[in-house]
Structure 1
Amino acid sequence: MKISILTFHWAINYGAVLQAYALKHVLLKYSKHVDIINYKPFFLNYAPNASHNVRTYISYLIKHGINFIRFHFCGLGQKLRNYKDFRDKYIVASTQPVFYKQSDIPQQNSDFIFIGSDQVWNKQITFADTTYFGCFLKKDTCKLVSYAASIGNDKSTVDEIVFLKNGIKNIDYISVREETAKEIIADFTDKEISVTLDPTLLLSKKDWEKIAIMPNNKSYLLLYNMDNMPLTNQIVKTIAKEKKLKILEIFSGNRSLKKLYRHATCPTAGPREFLGLFANASYIVTSSFHGTAFSLIFNKQFVTVAHPTAGSRMRDLLAKLDLSERIVTNINDIPYRDIDYRKVNVKLEIERQKSIAFLENALGVCKKEKDEPN
């Protein structure tokens, strides 16, 4: 049985890379032949193309200048090398051909192609790229499976709905990451739709610790603020003072440059270093979905600041685990009661088994086949 995965494995984004690793890791339990289609479309490439306007080119040149400074003086060069090392070792071989356009992808002879996880159906990110609905050459018997595919936004426009409606027809087995996505898609398909865990949550704490690189830092409050939201910055200061912890921030982009001298940062961290920083943290404040996921995996005390228009993924996940109180919307709502992970881990394992059941049903495997991958 040959299985392929199509996802955002090339993005310089911790969650994107680690969810790709996790799904491949899980699927290798069912087959020895699992690969990731090395598709790197223009929207994950760091240069504008002919379809972009003048403003896009100017924006690109400005970002290029900032990234030049970051690369040579702020640790970005080492960070990118750490990402490359991780991808080469765990995701795709450096010798594997890269496909930059849908038409570049050769016919796939896989029995199953898994699409997702991550925001592969977010039209704002993919620019309506239908590749992520399986619109490329493949053998007739190939089954398309979406695994925890995400729309990204809490509400969809009419154009986005039409895009989803046309694309979803191609998918044989559908699972999404958010309840809101299920509700949207259910309006225009009779196919069964499952809500499954992000692949990162299918692996255990021990699984992730095996590849984590632990930091030298001790006793710190980890900040991972993807959108640089002011509320998150207020919360982290309040909790750091209360807990008497130093703030250590995972460097998350150009907007973090101004914070270089505000508190300690980790500008060079790649995916393995990211895991170590979460595993070793005394407390975590994050506005990231995957920041929330890894806080749960490593059984950390944490709070999450959900994005105002794309926060359903955090809210849905934490609601399933009876942890909705960990989402803070006001500086006065910070929860100080510790999380009881004995209860949380039981609930998480139930959700994990539901997700595994979806995978096994899509693959049509039984326990014996799982134990003896072919």
Structure 2
Amino acid sequence: MKIGIITINDNNNYGNRLQNYALQEWLHCKLKIDEVNTIWYDPQYTYVSKFNLFTWKTWIKYILNLGGVRSYLKDCYYLDNIRMYNIGKFSRKIHTKFDLKILDKDYDYFIVGSDQVWNPKFWATEEYGQIRFLRFVPKEKRIAYAASIAIPSISKDKEQFFKDSLNEMKAISMREKAGAELVKKLTGRDVPVVVDPTILLSKEEWQKIELVPEWYYGEKYILTYFLGNPSPIIENLAKKNNWKIFNLMDKSNLDLYASRVEEFVYLIEHAELVATDSFHACVFSILMNTPFLVINRQQKGVADMTSRLDTLLDLFGYQNRYIIDGKCDLSDDEILYMDFSNVKAIQEREVARSTAYMKKALNIN
């Protein structure tokens, strides 16, 4: 059997690359699929920034300084390209075909997922919607695994497209409860909620790809991964325990900001605490049994921010890990000492559910 994966193509996000790798590894190594390829359909996202210096539109933006282009070129462009290049190194571990012009006969099935593949805000063009709903192949070959819409509702101008596209899928599973509810509302179709592909691989399997950052000398640290300044809670914990704070979004620290994907996993496992608003940083904190806090800078319950995190935390029983408006109801000891005793059993149960779903979708006995 030969399967093609469609997901978001870029080298700007650790979680996206890790979930892509995990789905491919799981299908090939655990479900014993003969050949699995990720279809890279967007050539502008390779190992350099999508920001093209040589278009006439860019020069107009530069002259008028639209969107702060001058500041971006001065402060961020170089750093962002190094970061994307380092993340792109990991993409080379993913079996990839750089072409969407695929004959139907070449693949038995296509799987779209995971990540926010069905979020129209992430479509550069309308063609992306066609691609991410697999409308370039027959209906009987279209499968969604842990797809995410990540917005509370679909705008009227896209509603019919979503209805038609969802109804034409052979099999659908969603990553968030909110997404499954939206599919039900649009189509009347009940679809399962399954775990993100990163949860399909064990802690031990993820440890095999880790890399120790060359700049790291064994000091204890809190790892932060979110936009904005650290909460006083984080700063106080670091000061109290004489720990450093490593901020993965700190552009003044190139070593951290341009961390490789394998270093991202290592830094999460070996942190004393992870503070983040990233879904996948939470996933890896749970898998690696690292205490974590979710920094929520929006009102809790806003679908485009918390639906994926709420689903994840509900699954593992960590609903109390939020810092909301700078406040946390946990004591310092409760923050730093988490009970991970049920993680493996929950993970194994969810892997079994996902395996059953995928085998049925792929007609595997």
Same fold (TM over 0.5): yes
1:333 and 1:238 mapped to 2: Cα distance?
Answer: 13
Structure 1 residue runs of 4 or more that deviate by more than 4 Å after TM superposition = 41-45, 48-52, 54-57
Q: Could you say what secondary structure the match of 2:87 adopts?
A: helix
Instruction: Please tell me whether the aligned partners of residues 200 and 347 of structure 2 are also in contact (alpha carbons under 8 angstroms).
Output: no
Change (3 A) 1:60 1:91: farther
Q: Which residue of 2 aligns with 1:23?
A: 23
Q: Is 2:113 aligned against 1:113?
A: no
Instruction: Please tell me whether the aligned partners of residues 43 and 125 of structure 1 are also in contact (alpha carbons under 8 angstroms).
Output: no
1:131 and 1:36 mapped to 2: Cα distance?
Answer: 13
Change (3 A) 1:182 1:307: farther
Q: Which residue of 2 aligns with 1:237?
A: 235
1:11 and 1:166 mapped to 2: Cα distance?
Answer: 31
Q: Which residue of 2 aligns with 1:189?
A: 187
Q: Residue 79 of structure 2 is aligned with which of 54, 70, 74?
A: 70
Change (3 A) 1:122 1:235: farther
Instruction: Please tell me whether the aligned partners of residues 2 and 36 of structure 2 are also in contact (alpha carbons under 8 angstroms).
Output: yes
Q: Could you say what secondary structure the match of 1:364 adopts?
A: coil
* Cα drift, residue 80 of structure 1: 3.4
Instruction: Please tell me whether the aligned partners of residues 5 and 37 of structure 1 are also in contact (alpha carbons under 8 angstroms).
Output: yes
Change (3 A) 1:47 1:266: closer
Shifted more, 10-19 versus 356-365: the winner is 356-365
Instruction: Please tell me whether the aligned partners of residues 120 and 132 of structure 1 are also in contact (alpha carbons under 8 angstroms).
Output: yes
Q: Could you say what secondary structure the match of 1:174 adopts?
A: coil
Q: Which residue of 2 aligns with 1:342?
A: 341
Matching of residues 256-335 of structure 1 within 5 Å: 256-257=250-251, 260=252, 266-306=256-296, 308=298, 309=302, 310-335=305-330
TM (normalized to structure 2)?
A: 0.83
What are the superposed Cα offsets for residues 70-111 of structure 1, whole Å, 9 maximum, x if unpaired? 26xxxx52x3333232212x1145xx4x34xxxx53324211
Q: Residue 145 of structure 1 is aligned with which of 138, 143, 146?
A: 143
Q: Which residue of 1 aligns with 2:42?
A: 40
* Cα drift, residue 305 of structure 1: 1.9
* Cα drift, residue 188 of structure 1: 2.4
* Cα drift, residue 321 of structure 1: 1.4
* Cα drift, residue 302 of structure 1: 0.7
2:4 and 2:348 mapped to 1: Cα distance?
Answer: 26
Q: Which residue of 2 aligns with 1:12?
A: 12
2:157 and 2:240 mapped to 1: Cα distance?
Answer: 47
Q: Could you say what secondary structure the match of 2:274 adopts?
A: strand
1:267 and 1:83 mapped to 2: Cα distance?
Answer: 11
Change (3 A) 1:219 1:334: farther
Identity among equivalent positions (%) equals 27
Q: Tell which has more relative contact order, 1 or 2 (C-alpha 8 A, sep 6+).
A: 1
Change (3 A) 1:131 1:291: same
Q: Is 2:67 aligned against 1:59?
A: yes
**Structure 1 residues without counterparts, runs of 5 or longer:** 367-374
Matching of residues 246-265 of structure 1 within 5 Å: 246-250=244-248, 252=249, 256-257=250-251, 260=252
CA RMSD of aligned residues (A): 2.9
Change (3 A) 1:87 1:105: same
Q: Residue 84 of structure 2 is aligned with which of 80, 83, 89?
A: 80
1:316 and 1:208 mapped to 2: Cα distance?
Answer: 22
Q: Could you say what secondary structure the match of 1:114 adopts?
A: strand
The residue type paired with residue 306 of structure 2 is: G
* Cα drift, residue 265 of structure 1: 6.1
2:237 and 2:306 mapped to 1: Cα distance?
Answer: 22
1:282 and 1:143 mapped to 2: Cα distance?
Answer: 45
Change (3 A) 1:281 1:361: same
1:37 and 1:50 mapped to 2: Cα distance?
Answer: 30
2:147 and 2:56 mapped to 1: Cα distance?
Answer: 29
Instruction: Please tell me whether the aligned partners of residues 119 and 151 of structure 2 are also in contact (alpha carbons under 8 angstroms).
Output: yes
Shifted more, 107-116 versus 58-67: the winner is 58-67
* Cα drift, residue 344 of structure 1: 3.2
Q: Could you say what secondary structure the match of 1:4 adopts?
A: strand
TM (normalized to structure 1)?
A: 0.81
2:131 and 2:114 mapped to 1: Cα distance?
Answer: 14
* Cα drift, residue 311 of structure 1: 1.1
Aligned residues: 340
Change (3 A) 1:65 1:189: same
The residue type paired with residue 168 of structure 1 is: L
Change (3 A) 1:41 1:80: closer
The residue type paired with residue 335 of structure 1 is: L
Q: Which residue of 1 aligns with 2:221?
A: 220
Q: Which residue of 2 aligns with 1:164?
A: 162
Instruction: Please tell me whether the aligned partners of residues 175 and 195 of structure 2 are also in contact (alpha carbons under 8 angstroms).
Output: yes
